[in-house]
Homo-oligomer: A and B are copies of this chain.
Amino acid sequence: MLQFRNDYSVGAHPDVLAALAATNLEGNAGYGADGYCARCADLIRALCAAPQADVQFCVGGTQTNFTAIAAFLRPWEGVICADTGHINGHEAGAVEATGHKLFPVRADLDGKVTPAMIEPVVARCVDPHLVKPALVYLSDATETGGVYTLAELEALSVCCKAHGLLLFLDGARLGAALTAADNDVTLPDLARLCDAFYLGGTKNGALMGEALVICTPALQPDFFRVKKQRGAVLAKGWLLGVQFLALLERGLYWDLARHANAQAARLQAGLTAKGYGLLVPTTTNQIFPIVPRALLEELDRVCTYEVWEDLGERVAIRFVTSFATTQAEVDALLAALPDQR
């Protein structure tokens, strides 16, 4: 069975696992108060050219999202996000469970939020009988594989500053985004433009772990307490520091993402050549081919994938590649799929 369902169906990259094994029994302070986390935080600050930033390691993406949002907002404040955003559609109401309303805005197929989507929400919510929009949630790459350009992020930052909104970027697939062919954004750009963002480990070579970068000093105090309160403090916290060091110290993180993107690009190109349409073309590790409904049965025998959207006679599906996807697997999948021309 070819694995194209998601980018979290195998464990860690062997180098990451080796780093865990090498440090397994050495003895470290708990709760992230160890030398690996400290060193890794320094490294991330350096990579981001953000000496003032606080780096906080969490275990998973949903947890990072709701912990950060709960920490940053006041009770009467809400979050603007794409209607397709992960916090709106895939996290079982985690943000609302912390008491905050979401304002989902209708995003385009690429899943991006724009100032033009934000402005009407802000304008409407001047009325104090409504929740006050206070944070814009993006993901890069987006839920549908889109990549923000530097110009788009600059515009969002200007819009947010003008309206007193925090800018928060979910980077569960940040590796894929920053290594995409059409990307022109760097970590220092993110640290400059966002109030907080994270580098996802789970979907790019780690067993688990997300490295949250809190750029804005006013958002940093007491963050450990809120992490603890939300179950986001791993007792053996060094496990996260060790993994992110293994990923970031010699650029493995970017290599793995580049690899995943390349396999996705090969698959997308191959499918297009075979006459498959795309729900939306992407440059990251998720692709969204459109297939005849009748093909699904055959697909189920060949590979794992996700049904993305029902289009009537046809169905948009999602294939995801990861650091572990081989060219052979991509080619096998392409070979198994019938020509649509």
Measuring CB to CB, which residues of chain A are less than 8 angstroms from any residue of chain B?
1, 3, 5-6, 8-12, 14, 17, 20-21, 23-31, 59-63, 66-67, 70-71, 74-76, 78, 89-94, 96-102, 128-132, 202-203, 207-208, 222, 224-226, 228-236, 239, 324
Residues in B with CB closer than 8 Å to A222 are 74, 76, 128, 132
Contact at B92–A129, with CB atoms within 8 Å? yes
Contact at B101–A99, with CB atoms within 8 Å? no
Contact at A24–B3, with CB atoms within 8 Å? no
A-B contact pairs, 26 of them (CB 8 A): A8-B236, A9-B27, A10-B25, A10-B28, A11-B25, A17-B24, A25-B324, A59-B208, A59-B234, A60-B235, A61-B235, A74-B222, A76-B92, A78-B93, A78-B96, A94-B228, A94-B231, A96-B100, A96-B131, A97-B229, A101-B102, A128-B222, A128-B225, A128-B228, A203-B235, A208-B239
Residues in B with CB closer than 8 Å to A99 are 93, 96-99
Residues in B with CB closer than 8 Å to A62 are 228, 231, 233
Contact at A6–B24, with CB atoms within 8 Å? no
Query: Which of B6, B129, B226 is the one whose CB lies under 8 Å from A76?
Result: B226
19 extra A-B contacts, CB within 8 A, seeds A11-B20, A91-B229, A96-B131: A10-B26, A10-B27, A10-B28, A59-B208, A60-B234, A71-B74, A75-B229, A76-B93, A89-B130, A92-B225, A92-B226, A93-B130, A96-B96, A96-B100, A96-B102, A97-B99, A208-B236, A230-B231, A231-B232
Considering the chains assembled together, what is the distance between the CA atoms of A100 and B20 in angstroms? Answer: 37
Assuming the contacts A9-B29, A96-B96, asked whether A75 and B236 have C-beta atoms less than 8 A apart, the reply is no
Residues in B with CB closer than 8 Å to A70 are 75
Residues in B with CB closer than 8 Å to A100 are 93, 96
Residues in B with CB closer than 8 Å to A11 are 20, 23-25, 236, 239
Residues in B with CB closer than 8 Å to A6 are 30
- Cβ-closest chain B residue relative to A86: B129
Number of copies of this kind of chain in the complex:
4
Contact at B92–A228, with CB atoms within 8 Å? yes
- Cβ-closest chain B residue relative to A59: B59
Residues in B with CB closer than 8 Å to A93 are 76, 78, 99-101, 130-131, 229
- Cβ-closest chain B residue relative to A10: B25
Considering the chains assembled together, what is the distance between the CA atoms of A27 and B90 in angstroms? Answer: 22
Considering the chains assembled together, what is the distance between the CA atoms of A255 and B140 in angstroms? Answer: 46
Contact at B71–A75, with CB atoms within 8 Å? yes
Contact at A231–B234, with CB atoms within 8 Å? no
Counting chain B CB atoms within 10 Å of each CB, the highest count among A60, A230, A234 belongs to A230
Query: Which of B23, B27, B132, B202 is the one whose CB lies under 8 Å from A235?
Result: B202
A18 CB to closest chain B CB (Å) equals: 9
- Cβ-closest chain B residue relative to A18: B21
Contact at A9–B30, with CB atoms within 8 Å? yes
Contact at B130–A202, with CB atoms within 8 Å? no
Contact at A20–B17, with CB atoms within 8 Å? yes
A31 CB to closest chain B CB (Å) equals: 8
Residues in B with CB closer than 8 Å to A202 are 235-236
Residues in B with CB closer than 8 Å to A96 are 78, 96, 99-102, 131
